[in-house]
């Protein structure tokens, strides 16, 4: 995986400029997705007439945005990371905030994992009970319904 420093560049060193279709294909997103993040102010492609032109920096920012979304961060949190990156030339503050947010996200995911394990265990128990009842009925017989509790 690429690190944050390699994903975002302050200026396009090689002068790379790409159109929206090419960038969408490169990132595996729709053009609408790119326009959405532009509308939110997370990227700001240049304009040549009515055509959006993306620099390496815009593409790097989109890679960070997409990674953040994939990891479960909100747009607000992603904006915060990008703002810190732009404001802090040494990126110390951004990295500290990122580490804090990652720890919070890990804690949330670990809670969800515990809940999922409990749910899976309960579903397996229900499956075993249902299978046992089917086996007790035998072929061609129906299972007697239990009276529902009132």
pLDDT at 117: 96
pLDDT at 142: 63
Residue 46's φ and ψ, nearest 5 degrees, are: -70, 165
pLDDT over 90 (residue 148): no
pLDDT at 146: 66
Q: Any idea which of 14-18, 44-48, 107-111, 130-134 has the lowest mean pLDDT?
A: 14-18
pLDDT at 6: 43
CATH T-level topology, domain 4-107: Multidrug-efflux Transporter Regulator; Chain: A; Domain 2 (1.10.1660)
For residue range 75-121, list pLDDT tens digits in order.
988 888 887 766 666 777 777 887 888 899 899 999 999 999 999 99
Average pLDDT on 36-60 reads 91
Surface-to-core class of residue 52, CB atoms within 10 Å of its CB (0-12 exposed, 13-18 middle, 19+ buried) = buried
pLDDT over 60 (residue 7): no
pLDDT over 90 (residue 141): no
Query: How far apart are alpha carbons 137 and 42 in whole angstroms?
Result: 62
pLDDT over 70 (residue 9): no
pLDDT, the chain, mean? 83
């Amino acid at each position: 995986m690429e690190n944050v420093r390699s994903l975002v560049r302050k200026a396009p060193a090689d002068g790379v400029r790409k159109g929206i279709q090419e960038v969408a294909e490169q990132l595996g997103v729709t053009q609408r997705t790119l326009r959405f993040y532009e509308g939110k102010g997370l990227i700001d492609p240049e304009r040549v007439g009515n055509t959006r032109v993306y620099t390496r920096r815009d593409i790097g920012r989109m890679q960070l945005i997409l990674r953040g979304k994939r990891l479960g961060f909100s747009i607000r949190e992603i904006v915060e990371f990008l703002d810190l990156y732009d404001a802090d030339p040494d990126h110390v503050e951004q990295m500290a905030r990122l580490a804090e947010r990652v720890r919070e996200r890990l804690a949330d995911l670990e809670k969800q994992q515990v809940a999922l394990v409990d749910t899976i265990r309960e579903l397996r128990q229900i499956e075993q009970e249902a299978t046992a009842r089917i086996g007790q009925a035998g072929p061609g017989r129906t299972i007697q319904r239990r009276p529902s509790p009132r």
